[in-house]
């Protein structure tokens, strides 16, 4: 993600600073203060539009740099590959045998580089964010995250440092922080979250988003109850003894308007609710995390540190997700057994 600090708004000429509300032109990428863009009403960087080019930071040539390890393309001002974390700029020390590289390992200031691309040893910085020694110089995963994605460690989201977000989110923090920065700077609310699309109430319990979790679990229970009532009111259950007979009877009743429109209505409600969940789940999580992190950073601490409270309140809960999955499936099974 581009760091706009030090760049100037084309409308007012003032340099961007941390915490500014920045929007970019969807066609050429030129950044503006949101207030300036709203005042202009459109992008005024007409030269780029006429030439079909994209905006690039001052001092940036705009040429992409290819990673020597994975082949991914990166902005020229990135120090590390945004795809695999490999250093993009190599500066070798003048050491004995540097010219002899027929294979094996290369010495880089005390650390060694495997021919596969990974660094280890005292002078290396590895592609994995754990520990020291053979896994890299930095023991701080947050430092690795910032280097890999070209993110300024002092970057803020709604006045709160991204390191606090990192401590709160923990699981898949890189993905979510990049989303949060985009929501904050570009003012968008939509993105795609496939787990929330496919298993909404399970996903929300996993992320400790209890309001959304209970809402979607309630929708699941209500639609199951309505579907059960629909089946029992349309089918003579005394004449069926197996699930196969129930399915056959349902198929035979689909010409009945009550059955057809009832099933259609339930399907539409389920589909629409899941699409909404899949599109807005990341934004809802962003608002929840922002609210709770802000509360933790401002309230007085008594029995624990802020870092401990961030980790306690945040993170994920596999237990809640598993219980939600079992509850939903058990409810359906109980209902089916009651009607048979």
For residues 280 and 285, give the distance between their C-alpha atoms in angstroms, rounded to a whole number.
9
User: For the chain, what is the mean pLDDT?
Assistant: 74
| pLDDT for the residue numbered 252 | 64
Confidence grade of residue 274 (pLDDT, cut at 50, 70, 90): very high
Confidence of residue 135 (pLDDT cuts 50, 70, 90): very low
Residue 48 has pLDDT above 70, yes or no: yes
More confident position, 259 or 199: 199
Whether residue 72 is predicted with pLDDT greater than 80 in this model: the reply is: no
Residue 94's pLDDT band (cuts 50, 70, 90): very low
When pLDDT is cut at 50, 70 and 90, the band that residue 310 belongs to is confident
Residue 98 φ then ψ, to 5°? -65, -30
Lowest mean pLDDT among 142-146, 229-233, 242-246: 242-246
Task: Determine the Cα–Cα distance for residues 162 and 147; give it in Å rounded to an integer.
Answer: 14
Handedness of CA 45, 49, 52, 54 (dihedral sign): positive
Work out the end-to-end distance of the chain between its first and last CA atoms, rounded to an integer number of angstroms.
57
Q: What is the pTM of this model?
A: 0.54
Per-residue model confidence (pLDDT) at position 177: 87
- With contact defined as beta carbons under 8 Å apart, do 296 and 306 qualify? yes
Q: What is residue 317's predicted lDDT score, i.e. its pLDDT?
A: 86
Arithmetic mean of pLDDT, 79-87: 68
Tokens of 306: 């802020």
CA distance 233 to 226: 10
Check pLDDT > 80 for residue 122: no
Name the residue among 71, 67, 69 with its Cα closest to residue 79: 67
User: Where along the chain do the CATH 3.30.40 domains lie?
Assistant: 1-58
pLDDT at 209: 92
Q: Could you say which of 1.10.3470, 3.30.40, 3.40.50, 2.60.40 is the CATH number of the domain covering 1-58?
A: 3.30.40
**Res 127 pLDDT > 60:** no
């Amino acid at each position: 993600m581009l760091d706009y600090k030090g760049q100037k708004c084309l409308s007012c000429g003032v340099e961007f600073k941390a915490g500014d509300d920045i929007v970019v032109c969807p066609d050429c990428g030129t950044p503006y203060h949101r207030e300036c863009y709203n005042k202009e009403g459109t992008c005024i960087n007409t030269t780029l539009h006429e030439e079909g080019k994209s905006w690039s930071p001052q001092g940036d040539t705009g040429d992409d740099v290819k990673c020597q390890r994975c082949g991914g393309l990166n902005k020229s001002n990135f120090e590390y590959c945004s795809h695999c974390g490999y250093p993009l700029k190599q500066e070798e020390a003048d050491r004995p045998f540097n010219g002899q590289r027929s294979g094996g390992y290369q010495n880089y200031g005390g650390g060694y580089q495997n021919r596969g691309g990974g660094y280890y040893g005292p002078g290396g910085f590895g592609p994995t964010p754990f520990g020291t020694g053979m896994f890299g110089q930095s023991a701080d995963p947050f430092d690795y995250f910032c280097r890999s994605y070209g993110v300024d460690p002092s970057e803020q989201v709604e006045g709160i440092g991204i390191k606090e977000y990192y401590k709160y989110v923990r699981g898949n923090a890189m993905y979510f922080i990049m989303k949060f920065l985009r929501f904050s700077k570009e003012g968008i609310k939509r993105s795609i979250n496939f787990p929330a699309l496919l298993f909404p109430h399970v996903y929300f319990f996993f992320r400790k988003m209890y309001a959304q979790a209970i809402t979607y679990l309630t929708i699941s229970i209500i639609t199951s109850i309505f579907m059960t009532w629909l089946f029992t009111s349309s089918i003579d259950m005394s004449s069926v003894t197996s699930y196969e007979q129930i399915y056959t009877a349902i198929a035979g009743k689909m010409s009945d308007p009550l059955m057809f429109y009832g099933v259609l209505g339930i399907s539409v409600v389920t589909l629409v609710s899941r699409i909404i969940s899949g599109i807005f789940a990341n934004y809802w999580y962003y608002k929840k995390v922002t609210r709770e992190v802000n509360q933790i950073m401002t309230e007085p601490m008594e029995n624990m540190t802020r870092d401990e409270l961030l980790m306690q309140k945040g993170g994920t809960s596999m237990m809640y997700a598993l219980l939600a999955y079992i509850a939903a499936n058990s409810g359906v099974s109980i209902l089916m057994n009651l009607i048979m």
